[in-house]
Amino acid sequence: MKRDEGRGRIAVVTGGASGIGLATASVLIERGWRVVISDINAKANQESAAKIGAESVPFDVTDEHATETAFADIEARLGPIEALFANAGVIQSGGRAENLPLAEFDKVIAANLRGVYVSCLAAGKRMTKRGRGGIVITGSVTASRTAPLHAYAPSKAAAVHMAACLAADWGRSGVRVNAVSPGYVGTPPVLANIERGTRDPKLLIEGSALGRMVDPEEIGRGVAFLLSDDASAITGINLPIDAGWLASSHLTTYGGVPPAR
């Protein structure tokens, strides 16, 4: 049965053409939101929007002018933006710090930190004027643990902290801001790496309490909750959605996660 949490209110999902963004957009639509998805790839964005019944407004979150223009256009055509899932970002190949080109470092920071901030400002300044709204930022479990991702992990740690900073700044104006931190999620890039043999699925799941990866839709359900009225008193938090990886990964020093009883 369709839930009507959104009641036709408008939600924008950046990075919405695939993976976590697309899965979240689908969940929000199922729960009664009118969803706009954005992606830097206009063709993919249009195709994905058509598949799930979303509006397509492609733009590059690293371009503040394009982002501001897109948000103004959405509100002029569709109405006030009540929710934002600031999910657009880029991934990074792992390795030693000294082997990471600064150009790649700058690209990751530009999308995962600056781009998130630009998107949040475009939505938040409109929300604060109206006295209502909700924002969720995509973090990562690498925001809380070390990883050989010397641009990506710091960018996600900063994005998680940004959610808390904005929550404190905008709370009295009726705007809630939270973060979610996905663990190892079965997104197309991860599954492709497993298929190519460049990632070992056993290593991705053995440290998690539940002994499995996370489905993209499970991230979407967490985001939908944080944007819903059921979370009306929740702001400034970071919600890990990681199958218990943060809780259990350290157990390798004690012989691993205990097996099923």
Model pLDDT for residues 114-147, shown as the tens digit of each residue: 999 999 999 999 999 999 999 999 999 999 999 9
Return d(Cα 201, Cα 194) in angstroms, integer.
7
211 part of a folded domain: no
pLDDT at 14: 98
What are the φ/ψ torsions at residue 81 (nearest 5 degrees)? -80, 120
Return d(Cα 139, Cα 158) in angstroms, integer.
9
% of the chain surpassing 70 pLDDT:
99
251 part of a folded domain: no
pLDDT at 2: 61
Q: Which helix (H) or strand (E) holds 14?
A: strand 10-14
Question: Hey, is 194 helix, strand or coil?
Answer: helix
Return d(Cα 245, Cα 79) in angstroms, integer.
40
189 part of a folded domain: no
Give burial (CB, 10 Å; 0-12/13-18/19+) of 192.
exposed
152 part of a folded domain: yes
User: Known catalytic residues?
Assistant: 152
> 58-62, 156-160, 214-218, 255-259: which range is least confident on average?
255-259
The answer to whether the Cα torsion of 107, 111, 114, 115 is positive or negative is positive
pLDDT digits 0-9 by tens, 43-97 = 999 999 999 999 999 999 999 999 999 999 999 999 999 999 999 999 998 899 9
pLDDT at 193: 87
| Mean predicted confidence (pLDDT) in 213-219 | 97
pLDDT at 3: 72
Beta-ladder partners of 192:
none
- Domain span at residue 77 reads 10-184+216-242
pLDDT at 93: 84
75 part of a folded domain: yes
Residue with tokens 């994005």: 159
206 part of a folded domain: no
190 part of a folded domain: no
Return d(Cα 68, Cα 261) in angstroms, integer.
54
Higher pLDDT, 93 or 239: 239
Return d(Cα 242, Cα 143) in angstroms, integer.
12
Helix axes 42-52, 19-30, angle to 10 degrees: 30
Return d(Cα 152, Cα 135) in angstroms, integer.
21
pLDDT at 253: 92
- CATH number, position 50: 3.40.50.720
| Mean predicted confidence (pLDDT) in 207-214 | 96
Percent of the chain as helix, strand, coil, to the nearest 5? 50, 15, 35
Cβ 183 vs Cβ 211: under 8 Å: no
86 part of a folded domain: yes
Note every long-range contact of 211-214, with CB atoms under 8 Å and residues 24 or more positions apart, other chains counting. Answer: 211/243, 211/257, 212/243, 213/183, 213/184, 213/185, 213/186, 213/243, 214/182, 214/183, 214/184, 214/185, 214/186, 214/241, 214/242, 214/243
| Total count of domains within the chain | 1
pLDDT digits 0-9 by tens, 170-201 = 999 999 999 999 999 999 888 888 999 888 99
